[in-house]
Chains A and B, each alone.
Chain A
Amino acid sequence: MIWIDTIIQGILLGGLYALFAAGLSLVFGIMRLVNLAHGDLIILGAYIILISVTVLGLNPFFAILIAAPLMFALGWALQKLVLNRTLGEDILPPLLVTFGLSVVIQNGLLEGFSADSQRISAGALETASISVGPISMGVLPLLTFGSAILVIVVLNHIFYRTAIGRAFRATSDDAVTASLMGIKPERVFATATGLAMVVAAIAALYLGVRANFDPSIGPARLIYAFEAVIIGGLGSLWGTLLGGVIIGVAQTVGAAINPEWQILAGHVAFLVVLLIRPRGLFPRGN
């Protein structure tokens, strides 16, 4: 029985990792850019929500209404002013610039908020749980998982059913021909990064409510996100969710055996998948 419980915890944790990963996956899919500062941007989002909650006294779920537009604007400006300059054949500039950005954000947060751990308070919701037969599940992890599914459904809808989604796909296929259709590729990229940051803000909410955070934990979230994306196969958001679930289950099972093995078990699961399926579980053609 305890094992079923552990696995369910892991699946639900996978929802959080899918939220970390969805923005990364979106940006990579559209402009082949890997943002090494993605984890730190999620932590930045968590601090924005924390401020909204503590200073304005908002419920964290309303605070997202402040954090999401702010993060969109930040992502948009970041792409437009900095990252668009790094795109091209050479992979060095985007990697090194986003790595530098990661260091800058981390230390900026450290300067602004100190190294103390913080937590976003969500009141009774933090401990609420519901029971299905003999199994008890936390409401918050369920909500996280549900949000991950919702985010993926919405992103897929945007990507495949809307005008901006058409522009995303067209620009990803061929930016020059897209510009002949009146599309400004740099604007499309900025919008995509803005959207990825909105997802990051949602991820930040659940990250901050679920556990303590401090300015240094961004890179580890980037790694989980990255593992989920690779396991799922580049370009498939549902694959990313499955990747997150695999990492989540590996971590909770590892932790159940020995608490010190939690993180290690997730990484090992990633290596095993990479060994068996180098292109991930659901690789998109091309």
Chain B
Amino acid sequence: MATAYSVTLRTPASTATLIAAAVLIVALFAAPAYASRGMIQDLFFILTMLTLAQYWNLLAGYGGLVSVGQQAFVGIGAYALYGAVILGGADPILSILLGGVAALLLAIPTAFFAFRLQGAYFAIGTWVIAEIARLSVAQWRGVGGGTGTSLPRDALRELAFVDGIRALFDVRASAARDILSYWLALTLAVITIAGVYWLLRTKRGLALAAVRDNTEAAKSVGVDASRMKWVVFLTSAFGTGLAGGLIYLQKARISPDAAFSVTDWTAYVIFIVVIGGIGTIEGPILGVLVFFVLQSLLADYGSWYLMVLGLIGISVMLFAPRGLWGLISERTGLQLFPIRRRLVGGSNTKREV
């Protein structure tokens, strides 16, 4: 038979991953049935940070675009939701989508400016845009200006599905809202990971890896590097905006300084990705778990916590630049989300010459 060789993406580990992931997702969706409210809130935090981390990783790890301005998209997504709900009386859950669209719209001029800047200057350029967005939103009196505002009680009370969740789990309205937010966060995280994985496996995604590895070489084989940069940047902005809307729907209170915080929405996210392993899908997943454990252990120590996080991030970058996942996959060869195509077969059939 001449069909002994085949090109495949699948590894034994990736098949196992697929099964394990399906089980895990079902278990997570069922979590409200057996988990406490505090645990649901923790999981919400983990899942939203994971989503942000995946999008930043797509930008920096795959697209080579180191943005320090992702807080712009979290903030604008959140404020679009608040604006629509408070000023337009829109449905809060549908308004999450509006948050994504708002972030996308902001991303277009942002990319136009920031792509004029090379490398490191791109990073600070995105930061400037985020500052402009923060300062501009602080001028927006309708949503509380510089001091911020809360979601109206009516809007929260009338939130879709909440009554059903109350009846199902026999919980109070506020807990039911947390469960709803949690399910949305879980859905968003799953779609994000699946979507990023799908994007990276397409022809376009492989081209992305080529651009990251060597822009000049990629150009010479006809990869349009600048179009890929746009695709990645806009995708990340849209997803980050969705996450921003969802995060602040759950918080129910917003202010420009919090929603556009470089520490909360960019610094933490960068550390998650760097510690976990930049340029892999597994890295941010591992990173967010490490991050959560560190935060649980050290959050009481305030600024010490951030210092430790910063020092760990620096050490990882200096001594293990591929992060924890890099260390693991180097030693074990494990790949849960294989992206490179591999040539398999042929060992037990004779080559026909």
Contacts and interface: CB of A to CB of B under 8 A. Distances in A.
Are chains A and B touching directly in their complex (CB below 8 angstroms)?
Answer: yes
Interface of A: 33-34, 36, 82, 85-86, 91-97, 99-104, 106-108, 110-111, 219-220, 222-223, 226-227, 230, 260, 263-264, 267-268, 270-271, 274-275, 278
B127 interface: yes
Instruction: Name the 4 nearest CB pairs between A and B, nearest first.
Output: A34-B120, A107-B303, A104-B310, A103-B310
Contacts of B278: 92
Contacts of B311: 100, 104
A85 B316 CA distance: 12
B274 interface: yes
Interface string B301-317: 01110110111011001
A268 B303 contact: no
A96 B132 contact: no
Interface stretch (B96-104, B158-166, B262-270): B262-270
A264 B128 contact: no
Contacts of A82: 314, 318
Interface in B25-71: 60, 64, 66, 68
B124 interface: yes
Given A92-B60, A263-B131, A103 B309 contact: yes
B123 A34 contact: yes
11 contacts: A91-B66, A92-B321, A95-B123, A100-B310, A103-B306, A104-B311, A107-B303, A111-B303, A223-B124, A230-B121, A271-B132
Nearest to B119: A91
Which bucket holds chain B's interface residue count? 35 or more
Given A91-B64, A219-B262, 5 more contacts: A92-B66, A96-B317, A103-B307, A223-B127, A264-B139
Contacts of A226: 121, 124, 128
Interface string B112-148: 0100110111011001100110011011000000100
Given A96-B274, A99-B68, A270-B128, A230 B135 contact: no
B117 A230 contact: yes
A227 B128 contact: yes
Contacts of A102: 310
A86 B318 contact: yes
A283 to B, nearest CB: 12
Contact of A103 (B60, B64, B116, B267): B267
A85 B315 CA distance: 11
A230 B146 CA distance: 29
A106 B310 CA distance: 10
Nearest to A265: B135
Contacts of B64: 91-92
Given A111-B303, A270-B128, A100 B135 contact: no
A259 to B, nearest CB: 12
B124 to A, nearest CB: 5
Nearest to B120: A34
Nearest to A219: B262
A82 B271 CA distance: 18
Contacts of B60: 92
A97 B120 CA distance: 12
Given A100-B313, A223-B124, A93 B113 contact: no
B304 A91 contact: no
Contacts of B121: 34, 226, 230
A34 B124 contact: yes
Contacts of A267: 128, 131-132, 135
A97 B310 CA distance: 9
A118 B120 CA distance: 31
Nearest to A275: B113
A227 B263 CA distance: 21
A36 B123 contact: yes
Task: Identify which of A34, A36, A96 gathers the most chain B CB atoms within 10 Å of its CB.
Answer: A96
B135 A99 contact: no
A180 to B, nearest CB: 27
B303 A110 contact: yes
A108 B310 CA distance: 11
A99 B270 contact: yes
A268 B132 contact: yes
A97 B307 contact: no
A97 B317 contact: yes
Given A96-B317, A260-B138, A107 B116 contact: no
Nearest to A102: B310
B49 to A, nearest CB: 16
A36 B306 CA distance: 16
A107 B309 CA distance: 11
Contacts of A100: 271, 310-311, 313-314, 317
Contacts of B314: 82, 97, 100-101, 104
Contacts of A106: 306
A222 B262 CA distance: 14
Given A86-B318, A96-B270, A96-B274, A223 B116 contact: no
Contacts of A86: 317-318
